Amino acid sequence: MKVQTIFERTEIKYIITLKQREALLKLISSYIKPDEYGESTVCSLYFDTDDFLLIRNSMDKPVYKEKLRLRSYSTPKRDSNVFLELKKKYRGVVYKRRQTLRYSDAMDYILNDELPNDSQIMREIDYTMARYKNLKPRMFIGYDRTAFYSKTDHELRITFDKNVRFRTENLDLAKGSYGEKILQPNLCIMEIKSLNTMPLWLTSALNELKIFPGSFSKYGTAYRIVTERNQMMGGTNCA
């Protein structure tokens, strides 16, 4: 399977109930198919500065924002493939650069600054690391994802994320996907990702079920929870 390394698309988020998810899937089942990952556990380490500059900037909803993360699909072993991703968003369009690495090589880069290769994408990521000077893993985010593609437009992808969880300790993907939950059990996050206009069959289904877009950041929500908790306890740092 060829791994996609460069993405450009719009991403629209919705917070929906599990009942709405099932109703929507029934309405659009003839138009979609499971993607190659099907159901997976997505695990990510988000990089940030000591004062969490990246996520604070993102929460201010600027015209341009960026995130850097290390992602795996399930808990990795030393020789598992993981993805180091630089994600930028400008005027509603998402641009993502993804470098595939062995987990051991990714950790050598994160901990010891050992550049694993000299690819264009890796140079872009390394430039971002250097520009912010002290980027390190600051937050683990995990969730259980079910993903689908349109049968007629492979660029149209629909994902459903539930059991969203986070932690600020043991920031190592090999430590597992446990964490504190940040969504009610009956809710999930749906994302519609596409390069093109949303098809009529999908907009009609969303309208019928009264499903409307809503802003939600997994990392931002986790950061807010920890910050508010620390403020109540008299602390000042997120981690």
* Rounded mean pLDDT, 127-142: 93
Does residue 183 belong to any structural domain of this protein? yes
Alpha-carbon torsion, ordered 63, 225, 161, 46, to 10 deg: 60
124's CB contacts (< 8 A; 6+ apart) are 86, 97
The pLDDT-based confidence of 106 (bands split at 50, 70, 90) is very high
Does residue 32 belong to any structural domain of this protein? yes
Domain residues for the domain of 213 are: 6-232
Q: The domain spanning residue 85 has which CATH number?
A: 3.20.100.30
pLDDT score recorded for residue 93: 85
Instruction: Quote the number of domains for the chain.
Output: 1
Reading the block at residue 237, the tokens are 């740092």
Find, among 49, 55, 47, 72, the residue nearest to 175 by Cα: 72
pLDDT digits (tens, 9 = 90+) for 17-61: 999 999 999 999 999 999 877 789 999 999 999 999 999 999 988
The pLDDT-based confidence of 1 (bands split at 50, 70, 90) is very low
pLDDT, the chain, mean: 91
Does residue 93 belong to any structural domain of this protein? yes
